[in-house]
Amino acid sequence: MFRSLRRALCAAAAVLLLPTAGALTAHAETTANTAAPGAGYWHTSGRQILDAAGQPVRIAGINWFGFETANHVVHGLWSRDYKSMIDQMRSLGYNTLRLPYSDDIFKSGTVPDSIDFSGGKNADLQGLTSLQVLDKLVGYAGQDGLKVILDRHRPDSGGQSALWYTAAVPESTWIANLKAIATRYRGQDTVVGIDLHNEPHDPACWGCGDQATDWRLAAQRAGNAVLSANSDLLVFVEGVQTFNGVSGWWGGNLMGVAQYPVRLDVPNRVVYSAHDYATSVAQQSWFSDPTYPANLPGVWDKYWGYIFKQNLAPVWVGEFGTTLQSAVDQKWLSALVTYLRPTSTYGGDSFHWTFWSWNPNSGDTGGILKDDWSSVDTVKDGYLASVKAPGFPGTGGGGGDGGGGGTAACGAAYTVSSDWGGGFNAEVKVTNTGTTAISSWKVTWTWSGAQKVTSMWNASYTQSGASVTATNAAHNGALAAGGSASFGFGGAPGGAGVPAVTCTAT
């Protein structure tokens, strides 16, 4: 709901969040499957998404927006090379990219704006149209072991629309372009599906029977069109704002599915998608409930969680985000992550998700990246640690792949990010310094004082006396030569200084 508030700001003001001790929890990672799940195209079975071999997979991803704006390309390429961005996403444990676009990118002559080519950055994007740049992103993501969900976000770059069509972009154009993009990536299983339209809202309805406003009927028409062009794709269908007089977030109300499910000509292709946000986007009645945040699971059950719990279909929370500036929002994110189910316990039998957003220039949520388009907001990223999931088999040639032979080696850089006397937070960046890919790493150090690790994210640890050993999580152990991953932790008491660290790679 209130999507107009969640605007993209090309020059966002910096929001610096100081981590607090205990704000994050350590997590155990799922044991890697010897036959890595995710290969090929996917299909649904009850509430799970299965890969081509029938193994459950979990979408644990990130939104990277920009193709839907007047830049007609993902944002941040004015700062960095797109490959380094995708490598960084993978190293942080995100395994899927949701890429919003508008129908403007299908217009002849639409070219991207604001790409920096200096110093060799983005060199292979020069002279390309927006669609051709999208091809490059999809190709490299697949090489890195990331899957892609394409999101028809808006009819044009001017702004979000309540319905799936406007006077300038009729339904026929929407469907024709959906078929075109489904055809474009036919046979390229990096693209696993299409989100048909972002955040339908009033007057969009679900099950009302009016061809002009019934989103459920429109989703069936569009979904069948997509599958007629590429029958292997998943079809992601968002909710509406209001059903039977009960309103919620734009795109977040899936109450009508129980009575009016989406039925497509190809079975086992529908994934329902909800959006959910915190108070930095807008207020909702449940935020002021006296039982908050204990009331939240019941709210989510009502709007969309029941679909998963009743084994009707998979549920993907395609967008959720917050600036994390208020205690209310921190409680919301902690509760939502718990509700989504930890990967270490449930694996692929879980809710799917893509966080909003990678971009720091989302005006009312900020992003995983800070305003320099490089540094990671480790607080936000840390909240998501328990629901991250392993990456998927790559197609070869990307930053996540490496050949045989060579030397396996790694280095680690330890940085204290904040120290308030009674405790501190630190980040450790691990870099593959060898000449071949590595599959795992561990970092060790010994403090000179009485410091203890109180929590750790994106790695697991053991501590004996003053000596600490941190081992990669399941999602960030594999690093290409030159690749890097980061983990963070809280400790107490403060004044820890920076100890000597060693890194061992295998």
- Residue 232 in contact with residue 267, Cβ under 8 Å? no
What does the alpha-carbon distance between residue 105 and residue 132 come to, in Å, rounded to a whole number? Answer: 10
What does the alpha-carbon distance between residue 43 and residue 61 come to, in Å, rounded to a whole number? Answer: 18
In the beta sheet, which residues pair with residue 235?
A: 194, 270
**Which tokens sit at 502?**
């060693």
- Of the candidates 29, 68, 199, 427, the residue annotated as catalytic is 199
Q: Catalytic annotation on 199? A: yes
What does the alpha-carbon distance between residue 51 and residue 375 come to, in Å, rounded to a whole number? Answer: 33
**Which tokens sit at 218?**
């429109």
Q: Checking DSSP bridges between strand 459-464 and strand 501-505, what pairing results, if any?
A: unpaired
Which residue, 352, 441, 284, 330, is CA-closest to 94?
Answer: 352
- Residue 322 in contact with residue 17, Cβ under 8 Å? no
- Residue 416: Cβ within 10 Å count: 15
Q: Catalytic annotation on 427? A: no
- Of the candidates 68, 238, 319, 427, the residue annotated as catalytic is 319
Which residue, 297, 334, 347, 298, is CA-closest to 38?
Answer: 347
Query: Distance between alpha carbon 196 and the CA centroid of its chain, in Å?
Result: 17
**Which tokens sit at 184?**
């474009």
Q: Please report, in angstroms and rounded to a whole number, the separation of the first and last CA atoms in the chain.
A: 47
Active site residues per annotation: 199, 319
